[in-house]
């Protein structure tokens, strides 16, 4: 299951409804907005995780960030602290405000939704994404188990990160990591 499927899973539809409520849109529009933004966040996570120390940084953020609180209590997504957290997450995932604006602009072109509203939604969706990943991490066990994979890792975070990193969905992340590395050298 990829990150978007995890967010839009029936068990997590309160996240989608909360986003719609916060921005005065229906569930379908919120789902469409999230559907256009999350793939860009997934690509950013994948890119960051493939950098030296990137996987370790992501695992540490998931272990210490208490992001799963957004899944457990979706109403927290609308709080200023969550928006600040989301902006910080966006800075790490996308790198710059220009990239964030481009993501919002692309999502607006695809959905017909107001780009200004989508820019405002970005931090909430970033917090939501880390919340889903954090929830998955907490279900996978300790950070040490996550680093090593351990038994049952396909259903835990390493399996999810493998899914994030496997951009061509061929079951192997080796070719995807090599492709990302080629972009930097």
The answer, yes or no, to whether residue 121 has pLDDT greater than 50, is yes
Summarised one tens digit per residue, pLDDT across range 43-87 is 888 888 778 887 778 777 777 778 889 999 999 999 999 999 999
* Alpha-helical runs (H) found in the chain: 3-7, 13-22, 27-50, 54-64, 69-72, 80-94, 97-111, 115-140, 143-148, 157-165, 174-184
Summarised one tens digit per residue, pLDDT across range 18-33 is 999 999 999 999 999 9
Instruction: With H, G, I as helix, E, B as strand and everything else as coil, classify residue 28.
Output: helix
Instruction: With H, G, I as helix, E, B as strand and everything else as coil, classify residue 3.
Output: helix
User: Does pTM surpass 0.85?
Assistant: no
The answer, yes or no, to whether residue 152 has pLDDT greater than 70, is no
Q: Where are the domains of the chain?
A: 3-184
Q: How confident is the model at residue 36 (pLDDT cuts 50, 70, 90)?
A: very high
The residue count for the chain:
185
């Amino acid at each position: 299951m990829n990150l978007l499927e995890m967010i839009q899973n029936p068990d997590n539809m309160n996240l989608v409804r909360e986003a719609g409520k916060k921005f005065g849109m229906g569930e379908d529009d919120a789902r469409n907005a999230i559907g256009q933004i999350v793939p860009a966040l997934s690509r950013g996570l994948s890119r960051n995780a493939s950098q030296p120390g990137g996987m370790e940084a992501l695992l540490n953020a998931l272990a210490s960030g208490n992001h799963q609180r957004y899944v457990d209590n979706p109403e927290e997504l609308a709080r200023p602290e969550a928006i600040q957290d989301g902006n910080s997450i966006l800075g790490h995932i996308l790198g710059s405000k220009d990239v964030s604006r481009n993501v919002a602009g692309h999502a607006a072109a695809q959905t017909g939704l107001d780009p200004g509203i989508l820019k405002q939604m970005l931090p909430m969706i970033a917090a939501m994404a880390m919340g889903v990943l954090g929830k998955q991490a907490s279900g996978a066990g300790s950070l040490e188990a996550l680093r090593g994979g351990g038994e049952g890792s396909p259903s835990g975070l390493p399996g999810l990160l493998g899914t994030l990193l496997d951009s061509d969905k061929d079951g192997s992340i080796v070719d995807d990591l090599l492709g990302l590395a080629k972009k930097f050298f």
